[in-house]
Amino acid sequence: MVSGQKVDTFILLGLSHPPNLRTLLFLVFFCIYFLTQLGNLLILLTVWADPKLHARPMYILLGVLSFLDMWLSSVIVPRLILDFTPASKAIPFAGCVAQLYFFHFLGSTQYLAICHPLRYSVLMNGRLCTMLVAGAWVAGSIHGSIQATLTFRLPYCGPNQVDYFICDIPAVLRLACADTTVNELVTFVDIGVVAASCFMLILLSYANIVHAILKIRTADGRQQAFSTCGSHLTMVTVYYVPCIFIYLRAGSKSPLDGAVAVFYTAVTPLLNPLIYTLRKQEVKSALKRITAGRGVASANK
């Protein structure tokens, strides 16, 4: 595109990869997307179908998380899969705006509440659950709107090649024909500092949990609790650390950014059902009841 013309289409260059791995990467990300949708859909249907689950706030929140993960994956991964095909990598200006908005809306709507883990069943109720979900969605929508507005209010007059696999703030800002200092500062504070602060608070919460676990008398009880906390903390780290790495360095042009971003955009939505839900005995029991019920219904026909 000739410099000076107004950009109406962006070209997503995608992830850097050796040409001989194109087919393998296509299959890998296709499987990631398929399994992400399947796993999260299974959680949604199980929570909806089992009265013992959809009456409990914890499983309502996990169901909402699965819903968000399905949409977050759909905003990101199909475009990523196209990088490994001969299909056009062009995305309209409006499509780029929409992708950036929904990526930040859905990404920032994901929540984790472990302030008082040992008193969860006493503190949590249906009303508080509804308020948490509504508050997270409103805050996520405001965040996405602010970032999309600030990013695309700038003039873009060429070139139009986004050196990334999605339309995200750092990569798009590098193409702006104006000073981006304010945008980079807002991104640094609104995403980088906030994410880092949340991560530190979560680590402090887990420190309290570990302190409580050490008081458990039986070795089996401590081992089970540490196993659960370890898997949860791993997921939190996979989500927050790459996010912090990218947005605290908004002006960076490191080729590692794209590879790092894959963890919290594609891998986390895949693993969330396994870590937070499918390992729980209540969910396993619910799946058995649903499967058994369908088997009986089929036999009676």
Amino acid at 41: L
Cβ atoms of residues 282 and 44 within 8 Å: no
Which residues, listed in sequence order, are joined to residue 136 by a DSSP beta bridge?
A: none
**20-34, 61-75, 140-154, 202-216, range with the lowest pLDDT:** 202-216
**What is the pLDDT averaged over residues 140-169?**
92
**What is the pLDDT averaged over residues 102-121?**
70
pLDDT at 4: 45
101: tokens are 């908005």
Over pLDDT 70: what percentage of the chain? 89
Query: From CA 232, how far away is CA 227, in angstroms rounded?
Result: 9
**What does the longest C-alpha to C-alpha distance in the chain come to?**
71
Cβ atoms of residues 142 and 163 within 8 Å: no
- Does residue 43 surpass a pLDDT of 80? yes
| The domain defined by 9-285 carries CATH number 1.10.1330.10 | no
Query: From CA 277, how far away is CA 273, in angstroms rounded?
Result: 5
Nearest to 52 by CA among 298, 280, 294: 280
- Does residue 201 surpass a pLDDT of 70? yes
pLDDT at 52: 80
In the chain, what is the straight-line distance between the N-terminal and C-terminal CA atoms, in Å?
Answer: 64
- Does residue 82 surpass a pLDDT of 80? yes
- Does residue 213 surpass a pLDDT of 50? yes
pLDDT at 1: 38
Query: From CA 79, how far away is CA 103, in angstroms rounded?
Result: 12
Domain ranges of the chain: 9-285
- Count of CB atoms within 10 A of residue 161's CB? 15
Side by side, which strands form the sheet with 9-12?
90-92, 9-12, 161-162
Decide the pairing of beta strands 9-12 and 90-92.
Answer: antiparallel
